Amino acid sequence: MSDARTVIFEQPGGPEVMKIVQRPVGEPGPGEVRIRHHACGLNYIDIYQRSGVYPLPLPHALGMEGAGVVEAVGEGVTHLSKGDRVAYATGKAGSYCDARVMPAAQVCPLPDSIDFRTGAAMMLQGLTVEYLFHRTVPLKAGDTVLFHAAAGGVGLIACQWARSLGIRLIGTASTDEKCALAREHGAAEVINYEREDFVARVRELTDGRGVDVVMDSIGAATFERSLDCLRPVGMMISFGNSSGKVPPFDLGILGAKGCLQLTRPTVFVHIAQQEKCQEMAAHLFEMVESGKVTIRIGQEFALEDVAEAHRQMEARATTGSSVLLP
């Protein structure tokens, strides 16, 4: 048994509550594997957990995705072997570390053509885009989607994914530079929401009709006005809350605004079953290997700099994906 550096927090709070400790890494049990990380992904859900928005039993490790090499395989694991290159996203937090033991069901063989940094950066965000475009509401070429935070990690993947499907994606971002980045990655139209009324602009871009679907990870700051961007019987997909949780509201609003539909999905429900998770990952890998989707890693941090990484994410000072390098 060896030790591994692991980022934990013992009480909810700001980035300063995180600390690195040495923790023992044991042998994998039935259905588990031990992974030595080469890179770990950073996501806004990590901030929700650290701050207490999504409570965890304490103390707790952080991090929902990573990439590395399988060091040991537990009984009953048949899709992985010692020495395999792998990447994963999981609902079991704890990837901010040198090595860990975890359930094997969500661990996916990583193609040789995809490096570890890319593997770690794309799993949670890429699988999110996969279910948004293929498993949430029927979408087809010619449909129009409003995507908030289009220059973030999920957003840049979504821009490219939409372009590959012939879907018209209207992206929002907070600066002209971020808008240009979203357009470069495939957004058909971009809106700087700091300078423009995004509802009025969406109506203008759709000749008053509204979009078929809104995909919103911002939450409180954009939710209600996003409803005004939808066509009648359009779908509002709320899949995050970087600006805070959406407050309670009268469901009758959905009827009054045009019989709108609303869903609040999570990636972890979609990847809970091994077969489905592996299928979604294979689709994501295919998109990346084909060149239809390129993963932009905007920031890299040493494990020791995890607090600064969280500060930059919370300040919306990042673009694309971010990774920790153990």
Q: Among 238, 264, 290, where does a domain finish?
A: 264
Q: How far is CA 129 from CA 191, 251, 283, 313, in A?
A: 20, 27, 11, 19
216/236 Cα distance (integer angstroms): 8
b/e sequence 67-106, b meaning 16+ C-beta within 10 Å: bbbbbbbbeebebbeeebbbbbbbeebbbbbbbbbbbbbb
The pLDDT, as a whole number, for residue 319 is 86
State the DSSP code for 248.
P
Determine the structural domain holding residue 156 and report its residue range.
137-264
Residue 130 resides in a domain: no
114/112 Cα distance (integer angstroms): 5
Same domain, 111 and 165: no
Same domain, 101 and 174: no
Task: Please report, for the domain that includes residue 54, its CATH number.
Answer: 3.90.180.10
Report the domain count for the chain: 2
Same domain, 70 and 121: yes
The pLDDT, as a whole number, for residue 50 is 98
Residue partners of 251: CB distance under 8 A and separation at least 6:
none
Same domain, 111 and 156: no
Length of the chain: 326
Same domain, 231 and 176: yes
The end-to-end CA distance of the chain, in Å, is: 19
The pLDDT, as a whole number, for residue 170 is 98
Q: Among 247, 264, 281, where does a domain finish?
A: 264
Contact assessment for residue 224 and residue 199, using Cβ atoms and an 8 Å cutoff = no
The full DSSP string for 187-214 is -SEEEETTTS-HHHHHHHHTTTS-EEEE
The pLDDT, as a whole number, for residue 213 is 98
Contact assessment for residue 200 and residue 227, using Cβ atoms and an 8 Å cutoff = no
Residue 132 resides in a domain: no
Pair of tokens at residue 95: 């990837």
Same domain, 150 and 114: no
102/89 Cα distance (integer angstroms): 11
Contact assessment for residue 267 and residue 128, using Cβ atoms and an 8 Å cutoff = yes
Pair of tokens at residue 41: 């992904």
Pair of tokens at residue 268: 């972890």
Residue 67 resides in a domain: yes
Q: Among 223, 239, 264, where does a domain finish?
A: 264
Same domain, 300 and 214: no
Q: Is the peptide bond before 232 cis (omega within 30 degrees of 0)?
A: no
Task: Please report, for the domain that includes residue 247, its CATH number.
Answer: 3.40.50.720
Task: Give me the sign of the Cα torsion angle 24, 27, 29, 31.
Answer: positive
The pLDDT, as a whole number, for residue 1 is 57
285/106 Cα distance (integer angstroms): 14
The 3-state DSSP class for residue 182 equals: helix
The pLDDT, as a whole number, for residue 316 is 85
* Strand residues in 253-302 grouped as ranges (E): 261-263, 297-302
Question: pLDDT by residue for the chain (326 residues), tens digit each?
Answer: 588 999 999 999 999 999 999 999 999 999 999 999 999 999 999 999 999 999 999 999 999 999 999 999 999 999 999 999 999 999 999 999 999 999 999 999 999 999 999 999 999 999 999 999 999 999 999 999 999 999 999 999 999 999 999 999 999 999 999 999 999 999 999 999 999 999 999 999 999 999 999 999 999 999 999 999 999 999 999 999 888 889 999 999 999 999 999 999 999 999 999 999 999 999 999 999 999 999 999 999 999 999 999 999 999 888 889 999 99
